[in-house]
Each structure stands twice: as structure tokens, then as C-alpha cells.
Structure 1
Amino acid sequence: MRHYENLRKHYPVLDSFTLENVILALSVTNQWKKCIDLLQEVKITAIPKTLVYSSVISSAFLNNEERLGWKLLEEMLELEKIPHSTTFLSYIRSIRKIRKKS
């Protein structure tokens, strides 16, 4: 997280390639929600790559943000991008968590 904060401090505007790499890194941390805003920044100059979308969607599912995950998945499919299998596995894991709690 410290690297991300330093990067933003020194470079407030990032290119889409760098933003996508930041998204991939943050998506596996407890700061994953920052990826939503970063994804919007990528969209200003580029279409986010499949891996980037898949990573953010997976994080949403794994962090009990199912609506957000489905919204992003629909957005991705509208762009005719096919999600990585990890996206679906994350959804299944999130359902398992819910069932265990029930």
C-alpha cells in the first residue's frame, strides 16, 4: 500500500498500463475498493484488459460485494470480453462462505 501511495504522491496522473498494474496489485489486498476508481481512470484512455476486470470482479465477490461484481461482469461482457475462470471460482467461494454462515 505504501508503494501505491508514494506512486500517487509523485505521479498523480498515471498511464493506463501503470493503472492496470496497480489495480492488479491492489485487488488482492484489503484496499481492493480503490480499484473501482482506478478502473474508471483507465477507461478515460483505454479499455481495461480482461485480467484487470476479472481481478476486480473476483475481489468484489470475495469481499461480499456481489452486486458490484455482477455490475462489473455485465460491463465486461458488453465489451465482449470473456472473464477469466478465477472470476467464477471467486463467485463460487463467496457462495460457499454464505452457506457456511447459514
Structure 2
Amino acid sequence: MLSTISRLLLAQGSYARQSLRFLYHGTPATVGKYATEQFTYIKSAIENNQIDWEDIKNNLLSIQGGINQKNVDAVLFKFMIYNKKYDAARSFGQHLKSSNNEVSLGSLNGLLSLYYELGKENNLSKEEKLDILNIYNYLHDKYKVLDFLTCEHLLHALCVINEWSKAIKLLDDINLSSKPSHSAYSIVIATLFRNNKKKMAMEFIQKSVNNKRGLQDIAYDAWIDYILRKYKQNDTKAKYLNEIVGSAYPVNKT
């Protein structure tokens, strides 16, 4: 096992390393030997302008390795998002939704991750925004209480479309069995500031501190933007900006 991992880590290019990131946990010792072949195939296949997703999946599954029938859709999503192949990921999402098969939970999480990454930079389409809300309703109807990972993916996607009240409910779900991540608190706080909900944002900042979840840059950036947007006089802006500088809130860079 160690020799296989060593060969992967020393291999040229980034795809061997991604193989480990995606497949290492819980995989048999033989997986590493073939992992790079599967990911090399994915890379070449999605760079083709004429993508046939069923052919890609069938060809991929014919290569020995850790990608199998149960995880292939989720791994494809994760690979494309990690490599910023957003157009291909969008195409794959449309393919899954148009098929007659039920979309797996892992694939829904992949789709939510895609919407979050797209929504960070640009406004999502009406269809994509509606899809996030439909996924939210579908998952709550089916599972009632969601697992930690699904809550996190759904929360981030909801925040990029400013559905802060639903995101806060997901924080409550996470708190039933765990603690929200640094990222979950930070994206909710940023969304509250973006929607001029300062009082609530400050309450969640305190909750993040109580849970030892330092704020990420996105929360501070939104806090600063709120001050610059809210106040007109420079001395007033300086007063509130100094409150941020003088605050004892910890910072998390990850």
C-alpha cells in the first residue's frame, strides 16, 4: 500500500494526486494501482466537445479501479468541479436530471457544490435557483433530518441565492449531531450582511466564537461591504471599521 501511494505522489501532474484525494478513504489496496488510469480517462473524455455521458460512464467503469457503479456520478461531479470544468459539470447535471433514474444523494451534493461555485462569481439562472429550492424541498421531504455533509452542501448553495432563513434552519440541523464548519458559519454570516441583517449576523458571529469556529475572509469581506454600503460619512465608516479591527473574533484562513 505504501509503495503504491508513494508512486502516485511522485507521479508527474496533478491527476495522480487527485486520485488519492477522491478514492483513498476505505478503498482496497489494489485501487491505487489503477486510479490514475480512471482519472486520466475522465480528463481526456470531458475535453471532447461531443460528450456522451453514458459512453463515458460505461468506458470508465470498464477500467479497473475505485470508481464503481455506486459512486461514479458523484466522483465525476467532484472531479469536474475540482478542475473547474463547470460547463461539463452543468452538462452532466442536465444528463442526470433528464434520465429516468433517481439521482443519488452523492450526485445531488455534487450538483449543489456546482451551483455554489458558479454562484460565487455570477448570478445563477432562474432554473438553477429553482433547482436548489427543489432539491431543498425534496431532501427534507425524503430524509426529514439531513446528514452533516448534505446540510453543508445545501447550506452553501442556498446562501448564493440569498435564502438565508433556510440556511439557518440547516445550521440547526447540523447542531443536532455536530458543530457547523468554519465555512458554514462564515457563508451564513456573509449572506446576512449582504441582505442587511446586521443584528442576526452579529448573533451568529457570537455563536461561531462560542463554537470555536473562526470566521473566514468571506464573512469579514461582507461585513466591510455592509459598512461601506450602509454609512455615508467617512468618520462613521471609520468608526465601524475600527470595531472590526479591534474585535477579538478569530480568523480561519481555510
TM over 0.5: yes
CA distance in structure 2 between the partners assigned to 1:80 and 1:5 by the alignment: 31
Q: For residue 97 of structure 1, what is the amino acid of its counterpart?
A: R
Q: Distance in 2 between matches of 1:3 and 1:78?
A: 31
The residue number in structure 1 matching 2:158 is: 26
Which residue pairs with 1:6 in the alignment? 138
Work out whether residues 186 and 215 of structure 2, in 8 Å CA contact, stay in contact via their aligned partners in 1: yes
- Structure showing greater Rg: 2
Q: Return the alpha-carbon distance in structure 2 between the equivalents of residues 59 and 26 of structure 1.
A: 10
In the alignment, the residues of structure 2 paired with residue 95 and residue 88 of structure 1 have an alpha-carbon distance, to the nearest angstrom, of: 11
Q: TM-score, normalised by structure 2?
A: 0.38
- The offset of 1:41, in angstroms, is 1.1
What letter matches 1:17 in structure 2?
L
Choose from 201, 216, 219 the match for 1:69. Answer: 201
Q: Is the 8 A contact 2:189 2:219 kept in 1?
A: yes
Residue 95 of structure 1 deviates from its aligned partner by: 1.5
Identify unmatched segments of 5+ residues in structure 1: none
Instruction: Check if 1:98 corresponds to 2:98.
Output: no
Contact 2:162–2:191 under 8 Å retained in 1? no
Alignment-derived partner of residue 191 in structure 2: 59
* Structure 2 gap ranges (5+): 1-132, 233-254
The answer to whether the aligner puts 1:86 opposite 2:218 as a matched pair is yes
**One-letter code aligned to 2:206:** E
1:90 positional shift: 0.2
Name the count of aligned residue pairs. 100
Normalised TM-score (structure 1): 0.89
Q: State the Cα RMSD in Å.
A: 1.3
Q: Which contiguous aligned blocks of 4+ residues in structure 1 show a shift greater than 2 angstroms?
A: none
**Correspondent of 2:148 among 1, 8, 16:** 16
Is 1:44 equivalent to 2:176 in the alignment?
yes
State the Cα distance separating 1:11 from its structure 2 match: 2.0
Q: Is the 8 A contact 2:185 2:213 kept in 1?
A: no
Instruction: Tell me if the contact between 2:151 and 2:170 (Cα under 8 Å) persists in the aligned partners.
Output: yes
The residue identity in structure 2 corresponding to 1:56 is V
Distance in 2, matches of 1:11 and 1:81, equals: 27
